[in-house]
């Protein structure tokens, strides 16, 4: 299989690329700075330049591939959400989607499947409500961003392209993302819950993130939205306790919610509000998770 990945130089994209290459597949990654990222990508990755907005210079590549995975989008956790930054976050996703749609329209031979990235933030804050793919979207910034992000590639379906949407939770990896940033205070014995600790933490181990994406690529009946979260979400307090136990460190400290809001502004909602998201459609489709419980996932990553 020949797979084209946008946003492939990010954490999930690199792991997916490595998995595909290890099994003998070919991977093409669109990048705005191929020279800067070449050394970070697995050997064998073919990097092709793009501007993130148009099919110029790369659109013909679509006729070479069997699948597309669209992960492109500016990192939402890279800084405070000023109005200008929120606009950049939004435009990075919508422009990438439009570029893919335009490229698909022009391609004589269209790839049969596209995996479209999204996030469980689609549902907005839900308290203790169990969230499945049937749950309607929220109304906050992240929810509306996810709605537009998902819709950005919807037009490819009119060309007969099967489209599956991955609403990803917090991906746990030792190579980047949220987990390494959490480890420093915990290893100093300063770890603790965030806010009340009652907010839900919809996590997924990187191996299952990659495994689920590959499952959806290869399952010819898979289309529509899928929650990419472990079957057993935990609260922030439960996650904190499990991480402390795995690291053999105390977890007696707590960061007040007001302090996080002062420090991060609106972006603090990512830390203080979550979703009790269940991967119902993925389980119904027959995907078998390798890591279903948080303790086992953390032990695999950290011991």
Structure confidence by residue, pLDDT tens digits, 126-175:
999 999 999 999 999 999 999 999 999 999 999 999 999 999 999 999 99
Does the pLDDT of residue 244 top 80, yes or no?
A: yes
Q: Are 225 and 133 in contact (CB under 8 A)?
A: yes
Q: How confident is the model at residue 292 (pLDDT cuts 50, 70, 90)?
A: very high
Is 242 strand, coil or helix? helix
Q: Are 17 and 27 in contact (CB under 8 A)?
A: yes
Cα–Cα dist 168/17, whole Å? 17
Q: Are 186 and 241 in contact (CB under 8 A)?
A: no
Q: Looking at 14-75, which runs of residues are DSSP E strands? A: 26-31, 46-49, 67-70
pLDDT computed for residue 56 by the predictor: 94
Structure confidence by residue, pLDDT tens digits, 54-67:
999 999 999 999 99
Q: Are 280 and 120 in contact (CB under 8 A)?
A: no
Cα–Cα dist 194/38, whole Å? 37
Domains of the chain plus CATH, in order, are 2-171+202-230+277-290 (3.40.50.720)
Q: How confident is the model at residue 227 (pLDDT cuts 50, 70, 90)?
A: very high
Does the pLDDT of residue 95 top 80, yes or no?
A: yes
The reply to whether the predicted model has a pTM over 0.85 is yes
Structure confidence by residue, pLDDT tens digits, 1-45:
999 999 999 999 999 999 999 999 999 999 988 888 888 999 999
> Using alpha carbons only, what angle is made at residue 241 by residues 240 and 246, rounded to the nearest 5 degrees?
100
Token pair of 48 as six digits: 């092709």
Q: Are 166 and 117 in contact (CB under 8 A)?
A: yes
Token pair of 87 as six digits: 């606009």
Q: Are 163 and 113 in contact (CB under 8 A)?
A: yes
Does the pLDDT of residue 268 top 90, yes or no?
A: no
CB atoms closer than 10 angstroms to residue 293 = 14
Cα–Cα dist 129/239, whole Å? 18
Q: Average pLDDT, whole number, for the chain?
A: 95
Torsion of CA 142, 144, 149, 155, to 10 degrees: 170
pLDDT computed for residue 223 by the predictor: 98
Q: How confident is the model at residue 266 (pLDDT cuts 50, 70, 90)?
A: confident
Q: Are 208 and 166 in contact (CB under 8 A)?
A: no
State the pairing for strand pair 234-235/200-201: antiparallel
């Amino acid at each position: 299989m020949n797979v084209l990945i946008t946003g492939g130089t990010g954490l999930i994209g690199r792991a997916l690329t490595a998995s595909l290459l290890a099994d003998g597949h070919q991977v093409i990654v669109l990048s705005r700075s191929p020279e800067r990222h070449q050394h970070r990508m697995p050997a064998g990755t073919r990097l092709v330049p793009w501007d993130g907005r148009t099919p110029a210079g790369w659109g013909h590549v679509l006729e070479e591939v069997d699948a597309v995975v669209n992960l492109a989008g500016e990192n939402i956790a890279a800084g405070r959400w000023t109005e200008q930054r929120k606009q950049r976050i939004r435009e990075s996703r919508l422009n990438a989607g439009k570029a893919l749609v335009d490229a698909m329209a022009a391609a004589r031979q269209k790839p049969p499947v596209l995996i479209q990235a999204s996030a469980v933030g689609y549902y907005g804050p839900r308290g203790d409500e169990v969230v499945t793919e049937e749950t309607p979207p929220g109304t906050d910034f992240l929810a509306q961003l996810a709605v537009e992000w998902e819709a950005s590639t919807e037009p490819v379906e009119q060309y007969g392209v099967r489209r599956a949407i991955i609403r990803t939770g917090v991906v746990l990896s030792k190579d980047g993302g949220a987990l390494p940033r959490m480890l420093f205070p915990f290893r100093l014995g300063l770890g603790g819950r965030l806010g009340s600790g009652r907010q839900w933490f919809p996590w997924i181990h990187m191996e299952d993130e990659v495994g689920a994406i590959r499952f959806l690529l290869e399952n010819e009946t898979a289309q529509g939205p899928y929650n990419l979260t472990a079957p057993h979400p935990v609260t922030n307090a439960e996650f904190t306790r499990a991480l402390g136990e795995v690291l053999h460190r105390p977890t007696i400290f707590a960061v007040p919610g007001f302090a996080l809001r002062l420090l991060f502004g609106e972006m603090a909602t990512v830390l203080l509000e979550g979703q009790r998201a269940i991967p119902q459609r993925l389980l119904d489709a027959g995907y078998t998770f390798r890591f279903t419980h948080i303790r086992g996932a953390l032990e695999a990553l950290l011991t």
